[in-house]
Amino acid sequence: MSVYGQTAAEAIVPAQSVDQQIDAFFGKIADAIFGVIMWEIPLIKTPFIVAWLTIAAITFTLYFKFINFRQLGFSLAIVRGRYTDPNEAGEVSHFQALATALSGTVGLGNIAGVAIAISMGGPGATFWMIVAGLL
């Protein structure tokens, strides 16, 4: 800086805003986490996160003794309203509660996620998503 104020070079370079400083700081952390999560396992050529989620799905399926298959009929009976008492207070049916919960959970992200998976992995991605969903 000169005696009379900023030089021309100092005036051209603006200071970083607060959001740029935060982004620069956390960007390094996010890149490190992304590198760990998306690390490709050499033996099976699969990202770590895919293997981790598949192992977790299989573990919970075995731990709960295939409840996703054993209790499918019971869950459908609940949604259909077989266990609904018309004398109970409340205005929301089991199906309405399920539909509301699913709409909040699934949302647009899964629709876009399927489209991205198919565009990147081809039609076989649909098969593997169905297989993973059944776990």
Q: Which tokens belong to 132?
A: 């993973």
**Per-residue pLDDT tens digits for 19-59:** 888 888 898 998 999 899 889 999 988 899 989 999 999 99
Please indicate, yes or no, if residue 56 is contained in any of the structural domains.
no
pLDDT of residue 128: 85
pLDDT of residue 5: 62
Q: Is the pLDDT of residue 13 over 60?
A: no
Please indicate, yes or no, if residue 44 is contained in any of the structural domains.
no
**Per-residue pLDDT tens digits for 82-134:** 888 878 888 888 888 888 888 877 776 677 888 888 888 888 888 888 888 88
Please indicate, yes or no, if residue 30 is contained in any of the structural domains.
no
Burial pattern 19-37, b for ≥16 Cβ within 10 A else e, equals: eeeeeeeeeeeeeeeeeee
Q: Is the pLDDT of residue 8 over 70?
A: no
Please indicate, yes or no, if residue 51 is contained in any of the structural domains.
no
Higher per-residue pLDDT: 104 or 8: 104
Per-residue confidence band for 7, with pLDDT thresholds at 50, 70 and 90: low
Please indicate, yes or no, if residue 110 is contained in any of the structural domains.
yes
Please indicate, yes or no, if residue 62 is contained in any of the structural domains.
no
Q: Which residues are within 8 A (CB) of 83 and not within 5 positions of it... i.e. 6 or more apart?
A: 77, 94
pLDDT of residue 3: 58
Which of 70, 69, 97 shows the shortest CA–CA distance to 83? 97
Q: Is the pLDDT of residue 15 over 80?
A: no
Runs of H (alpha helix) within 13-134: 18-37, 48-63, 67-70, 72-80, 94-105, 107-121, 124-134
Q: Which residues are within 8 A (CB) of 4 and not within 5 positions of it... i.e. 6 or more apart?
A: none
Give the whole-angstrom CA distance, residue 112 versus residue 69.
27
Please indicate, yes or no, if residue 120 is contained in any of the structural domains.
yes
Number of domains present in the structure of the chain: 1
Please indicate, yes or no, if residue 88 is contained in any of the structural domains.
yes
User: What is the extent of the structural domain holding 77?
Assistant: 71-134
Give the whole-angstrom CA distance, residue 105 versus residue 107.
6
pLDDT of residue 66: 95
Report the 10 Å Cβ neighbour count for 93.
13
